[in-house]
Amino acid sequence: MRVLNKWIQKEPSKNAITILKDRYFLKDGEGNYLESTWDEVAKRIARHVAAAEVNYTNDIEEIKNAEEHFYQLIKSRIFLPNSPTIFNAGKTMDRQLFKKDIEETTLEDYKTIFDSRTKHNMLSACFVIPMDDSMSAIFDAVKNAALIMKYGGGVGYDFSVLRPKGSSIAGTGGKSSGPISFMHVFNTAASTIEQGGARRAAQMAVLRYDHPDVFDFINSKKDNKGNNVLNYFNISVNIDNPKEFKKMLEEDGDLTLEHPASSIRKTIKANDLMNKMVENAWKTGDPGMLFLGRHNQYYAMSEHTPVTATNPCGEEPLPPFGSCNLGSIDVAKLVEDMDLGNPNSPDISEFQEIVYWAVRFLDDVIESNIYPLKEIEEISKKQRFIGLGMMGLADALYKKELPYNSEQARKFMAKLTAELAYFSHVASTELAKERGNFPDFQRSKYPNGFIPFPMLDDEIDEDIKVWNEKIRQHFQGEATKYKRNVQTNTIAPTGSISNLADTSSGIEPNFLLSYVRYMTNKEGDRVPLSYINPILMEKIGTNMTEELKAEIIEKGSIQNIDSIPNEIKKIFVTSMDIPPKDHLLAQHVIQSYLDASCSKTINMPKSSTIEDVKAIYLQALELNLKGLTIYRDGSLETQVLTSSSQE
């Protein structure tokens, strides 16, 4: 593929290599490096995952063809799988099998790779673990979660099933200590685990808005300074029906807090709940809101296995014991040569091919994965969740000279996501024809012509109308018979992999145009990684004097630099330059074409008031969103990135 060939030649930056060395290169038992180049990593992942194809064919050429496509996607960094796949593919296996040239690799070699997989080869990033309202079930969940986190997965839980604090416990005559006390147990367990030996663990706690302990939950991270209280948790309040809740707020209605396993009942004002959520979110960013009712509306198996929580960063709703492996296409690299989002583009088949191979890769990961629990393996293989998303959106917009906070950019985002969703679903249908439907297909909503996302109105744009029509035809036609994966699209934060790809993360605007990022290496030393956005460097060209560079590094944004022309300022916006409502609208248009969800933070300026935060929360209840996370600048003391002036 033409565009892959161009990027295969480009080596990762110095920053990317530093991260690879610290976290991703395989090591032996004594800590000696077994790898030293990106090429070796790409080959290892491609071969490990392609080995899953032995389940479908004995034709060695077909397997090699898959490996070659996977290798090109990864080596070019046009597509990267989630971190656990990069850490764990090929781990603890015979190195010689991965050193052989592809020409010399035999069917036996692929079979050996497939058969020698062990618990170390856990490849997924996202899990949801259920718990029952009993002591032994809670501690089983702690153990299950610890195993998942140890190998690099993030875990979400619905704590709503636990009875509220102070409820009676039959048998002991005692009183329950409530969900929040148990969250601390999970937090402590997580604090002892270094995921995949390389990074800190991450968890999501969900609680229903009408659980009697909801205020304790909302307050549970109130005193968070970033490193003390429940610091291995993100917390989200589940409001099943956001429009009904909004009506309750407008009518200043009462809300009854109750739980089926408890006699505790409290009546509160819905507005008091909303105000508390908003106040705390203003202070620390937590809690977020989650709309699981909307998730289930667009989930093809909700009638049998409704989703109950999301993974830690909120982009992947899952049923109990669900798992999902993610992968992201770097659209910033592709926009240089492709007219993405345009349904009449002459090179559209090339994009379709990239998406096909990315979907096939993720589908193969389901087979080549080793699951931490048999319950997880069972549902993951019955429904076959995969999450293909994108990274590099902000850099793509810089290259296309579209300000992130403009109507034009939003149309591009919508068309691009529609195109990604359409081709991903077409690929999943093609794979189903060759490999069979996901086993639960007949019980799912797909045979009835179900479309797993809301879509935007036809009227807003001619191209959107074309994508909508293609999507409708697909889901009313072939998709009623063939679907390999229950869900296909998720947009991850890509916090680490976007650095490996030297691109902007996920669908977020760039947080800063330049920064010094401190990474703590395994020895515990803080290593500075400095960065200035290369697209901006190129745009300013020979006018980029050393003095100007220093000023950009100092400020992180260019909005207050007089010597930079206004046209450039308009395009090169950062998270904090973008009004919160434009963050929200970006999330809205993108979410309109996602069957799973996306990771997105609504950044707000430090000066925002509690009322400003409330306005965003209220707007989120109205739009077709599946959740909301806000962050007010400076509200939490440990920001990951800082411009140099703040260091």
CB of 286 to ligand CDP, least distance (A): 16
Catalytic pick among 126, 313, 324, 598: 313
Q: Is 324 a catalytic residue?
A: no
DSSP structure class, residue 33: B
Whichever of 81 and 179 has its CB closer to ligand CDP, that residue is 81
SS3 breakdown of the chain: % helix, strand, coil, rounded to 5?
A: 45, 15, 40
Helical residues (DSSP H) of 262-406, grouped into ranges: 270-284, 292-297, 331-334, 348-368, 374-383, 393-400
d(CA 431, CA 30): 42
Nearer to ligand CDP, 201 or 281 (CB): 201
100/200 with CB nearer ligand CDP: 200
Q: Count the Cβ atoms, other than its own, within 10 Å of residue 111.
A: 14
Q: How far is CA 464 from the centre of its chain?
A: 25
255 binds ligand CDP (CB under 6 A): no
- Say if residues 600 and 508 touch (Cβ distance below 8 Å): yes
Give dist(CA 159, CA 167) in Å, integer: 15
The reply to whether 53 belongs to the active site is no
| x/- track of binding to ligand CDP for residues 193-222 (CB under 6 A) | --x---xx-x--------------------
Residues 151-180, one symbol each (x = binds ligand CDP by CB under 6 A, - = not), give --xx--------------------------
Q: Does 125 bind ligand CDP (CB under 6 A)?
A: yes
Kindly state the smallest distance separating residue 263's Cβ from ligand CDP, in Å: 37
Peptide bond into 287 cis (omega under 30): yes
Q: How far apart are the first and last CA of the chain?
A: 44
Q: Which stretch binds ligand CDP (CB under 6 A): 233-241, 293-301, 439-447, 494-502?
A: 494-502
Active site residue 342: no
Which CB atom, from 84 or from 179, has the smaller least distance to ligand CDP? Answer: 84
The DSSP result for 191-250, as a single string, is HT-EETTTEE--EEEEEETTSTTHHHHHHTTTT--SSSTTTTEEEEEE-S-HHHHHHHHH
CB 151 within 8 A of CB 145: no
Check if the beta carbon of residue 71 is closer than 8 Å to that of residue 1: no
Of 120 and 465, the one with the shorter C-beta distance to ligand CDP is 120
Q: What are the φ/ψ torsions at residue 34 (nearest 5 degrees)?
A: -100, -10
Residue 580: asked if its preceding bond is cis (omega within 30°), the reply is: no
Q: Choosing from 35, 315, 367, 419, which is the catalytic residue?
A: 315
Rounded to whole angstroms, how far apart are CA atoms 157 and 470?
36
With CB under 6 A as the contact rule, the residue among 424, 494, 533, 592 that binds ligand CDP is: 494
Least distance to ligand CDP from the beta carbon of 398, Å?
Answer: 21
Distance (Å) of CA 551 to CA 543, 548, 555, 557, 645: 13, 5, 6, 9, 10
Residue 128 as a binder of ligand CDP (CB under 6 A): the answer is no
Size of the site for ligand CDP (CB under 6 A): 20
DSSP β-ladder status, 203-208 and 154-158: parallel
Pairing of strands 203-208, 233-238: parallel
Residue 83 or 417 with smaller CB distance to ligand CDP: 83
List 164's β-bridge partners, or say none: none
Residue 496 contacts ligand CDP per CB under 6 A:
yes
- The alpha carbon of residue 478 and the mean position of all alpha carbons in its chain are separated, in whole angstroms, by 28
629 binds ligand CDP (CB under 6 A): no
Least Å distance, CB 245 to ligand CDP, is 25
Instruction: Tell me the closest approach of the beta carbon of residue 144 to ligand CDP, in angstroms.
Output: 15
Catalytic residue, chosen from 311, 369, 405, 468, is: 311
Shortest Å distance, C-beta 324 to ligand CDP: 9
Q: Give the shortest CB-175-to-ligand CDP separation in angstroms.
A: 34
- Nearest distance from residue 424's CB to ligand CDP, in Å? 17
Out of 130, 312, 319, 392, the residue judged to bind ligand CDP by CB under 6 A = 312
Stretch that binds ligand CDP, among 115-123, 285-293, 491-499, 514-522 (CB under 6 A): 491-499
How big is the chain by its Cα radius of gyration, in Å? Answer: 24
Q: Of the two residues 145 and 301, which places its CB atom closer to ligand CDP in the complex? A: 145
Residues 549-588 that bind ligand CDP (CB under 6 A): none
Closest C-alpha to 360, from 112, 124, 597, 70 = 70
Find the residue with minimal CB distance to ligand CDP.
154
- Binding string, residues 449-488; x marks residues near ligand CDP by CB under 6 A: ----------------------------------------
- Distance between CA atoms of residues 601 and 178, nearest Å: 30
Q: Is 311 in the site for ligand CDP (CB under 6 A)?
A: yes
State which residue, 125 or 249, has the beta carbon closest to ligand CDP: 125
In the list 492, 507, 536, 540, the residue contacting ligand CDP (rule: CB under 6 A) is 492
Residue 313 or 630: the one with the smaller Cβ distance to ligand CDP is 313
Stretch that binds ligand CDP, among 240-248, 312-320, 398-406, 611-619 (CB under 6 A): 312-320
Half-sphere exposure of 143 (CA within 13 A, CB side): 7
Question: Does 187 participate in binding ligand CDP (rule CB under 6 A)?
Answer: no
- Token readout for 399 is 């290259």
Q: Which range in 48-56, 308-316, 361-369, 578-586 contacts ligand CDP by CB under 6 A? A: 308-316
83 counts as binding ligand CDP under rule CB under 6 A? yes
**The Cα angle at residue 486 between residues 431 and 441, in degrees rounded to 5:** 80
Instruction: State the Cα–Cα distance between residues 494 and 471, nearest whole angstrom.
Output: 27
Q: Does 288 bind ligand CDP (CB under 6 A)?
A: no
The answer to whether 192 contacts ligand CDP (rule: CB under 6 A) is no
Q: Are 248 and 202 in contact (CB under 8 A)?
A: no
C-alpha of 52 from chain center? 24
The answer to whether residue 397 forms part of the interface with ligand CDP (CB under 6 A) is no
Contacts of 254 (CB under 8 A, 6+ apart): 267, 268, 269, 270
Sole window of 12-20, 107-115, 173-181, 490-498 interacting with ligand CDP (rule: CB under 6 A) = 490-498
Which amino acid, residue 235? I
The single residue among 82, 325, 380, 608 that binds ligand CDP, judged by CB under 6 A, is 82
By beta-carbon proximity to ligand CDP, the closer residue of 83 and 121 is 83
**In sequence order, which residues have a C-beta less than 8 Å from that of residue 8 and are 6 or more positions away?**
72, 75, 76
The set of catalytic residues is 311, 313, 315
List residues binding ligand CDP (CB under 6 A).
82-83, 125-126, 153-154, 195, 199-200, 202, 311-313, 315, 492-497
